[in-house]
Amino acid sequence: MDKLRAIEYFLRTAESGSFGNAARLLDVSAPAVTQLVAALERSLGTILLHRSPRGVALTADGERYYQVARAAAGELQDIEKLLGPRGAKPRGTLTVGMRSGVAQSIVLPRIGRFLSRYPDVELVLKPAETLAEIEAQDVDVAVMTGWPPARDFAVRALALTKHVVCASPGYWRRMGEPVEPEGLLEHECLVMRSSGGTLLDRWTFERNGDRRTIDVRGRLLSHHSTWIQAAACAGAGVIRVGDFSVQRDLAAGTLKRVLLDWEALEPPMHFAVYRPGQRQSRLVRVFVDFLVEVFSATEDGGRIDLPAGRITKPEWFGRAQGRQSAYAARRKSAAR
């Protein structure tokens, strides 16, 4: 048995969900994949994949073997690149996950610069709105907005953002503009979901030491910032989003800011994440360096150099399930 090939066939099968899909990716026959993976299982003395008419799923042993085999395969690829001609440009395929707002507003308008710089690199772009989606997909590096996870990923902080509260001019004419944060209680607010999965319906503001916290009312919920923004532009309600994503709509007059003399607290940050095993990947390094360059060149120049572990995260991050306001209510009740 060609064990390296068997491992490759196993990895492709696990990632694609079936022997047939793996065969198409590898340009071989499905029986060839099935037989070699079965031979690998026999040599290990365990079952790696559950078979069913719907496809395959990793067993507990298969999950452990997959994690080790995937990391080893990545290290082999990196060594091959390092042993290539000295000074050779990066080459290969890099799969990048991005939140839609970051992709459209910041990265994609400048992506031609990266492609010109590295003509032998192929980029595969995938939507990735949450950390769970990154874990579920075969993503080499992802660009996220929110707060970085405490473990499981290597993190590079890219930039801080500022929150802005806005809606369409037509909405404000119809419903009236709030002059205090409490005025938002009379409005339909469109609620974002954080990269960690929390519904951000608890908005906190501060002005000259005066802090106000509002649990907004919202019936339109999404982790797709571009969808929420499009709904706001169409007059559906009020949004609180990072300023980077609405610069064009504010400039064009499609959206209008309110509460300008109040600072909206808990602004998220932009960060790049990748698995620790990718630290030595030359492709990941050059793309992350490109991201640092891109975020440094944004209008606000929001780049930060703090290690991700020193970034202050909101108290609820990583703890709140569902609505942020419900988590706060439970905490208040437990403190009594």
Q: For 64-73, what is each residue's pLDDT tens digit? A: 888 888 888 7
Tell the burial category of 91 from Cβ atoms under 10 Å away from its Cβ (0-12, 13-18, 19+): middle
| The two structure tokens encoding residue 168 | 């369409």
Burial 42-81 (b: 16+ CB within 10 A, else e): eeeeeebbeeeeeebebbeebeebbeebbeeebeeebeeb
Please state whether the predicted TM-score (pTM) of the whole model is above 0.85.
no
Name the more confident of 103 and 336: 103
For the chain, give every residue range classified as CATH 1.10.10.10. 3-82
* pLDDT (average), residues 251-264: 93
Lowest pLDDT segment from 142-151, 221-230, 281-290: 142-151
Q: How confident is the model at residue 25, as a pLDDT? A: 74
Cα 311 to Cα 236: distance, rounded to the nearest angstrom: 34
Q: How confident is the model at residue 253, as a pLDDT? A: 94
Pick among 3.40.190.290, 3.40.50.920, 1.10.1040.10, 3.50.50.60: CATH of 163-267+321-330: 3.40.190.290
For the chain, give every residue range classified as CATH 3.40.190.290. 163-267+321-330
Q: Considering the domain 92-160+269-305 in this protein, what is its CATH number?
A: 3.40.190.10
127 φ/ψ angles, rounded to the nearest 5 degrees: -70, 135
| The two structure tokens encoding residue 288 | 């992350």
Average pLDDT, the chain: 81
Q: Considering the domain 3-82 in this protein, what is its CATH number?
A: 1.10.10.10
Burial 146-170 (b: 16+ CB within 10 A, else e): bbbbeeebbbbbbbbbebbbbbbee
At residue 222, does pLDDT exceed 90?
no
Q: How far is CA 124 from each of CA 76, 97, 215, rounded to the nearest angstrom? A: 21, 8, 39
Task: Give residue 301's pLDDT band: very low, low, confident or very high (50, 70, 90).
Answer: very low
Q: How confident is the model at residue 170, as a pLDDT? A: 95
Task: Give residue 328's pLDDT band: very low, low, confident or very high (50, 70, 90).
Answer: low
Q: What percent of the chain has pLDDT over 90?
A: 22
For the chain, give every residue range classified as CATH 3.40.190.10. 92-160+269-305
Q: How many residues does the chain have?
A: 336
DSSP 8-state symbol, 255 = S
Instruction: Quote the Cα angle for 81-83-88, to 5°.
Output: 60
36 φ/ψ angles, rounded to the nearest 5 degrees: -70, -35
At residue 325, does pLDDT exceed 80?
no
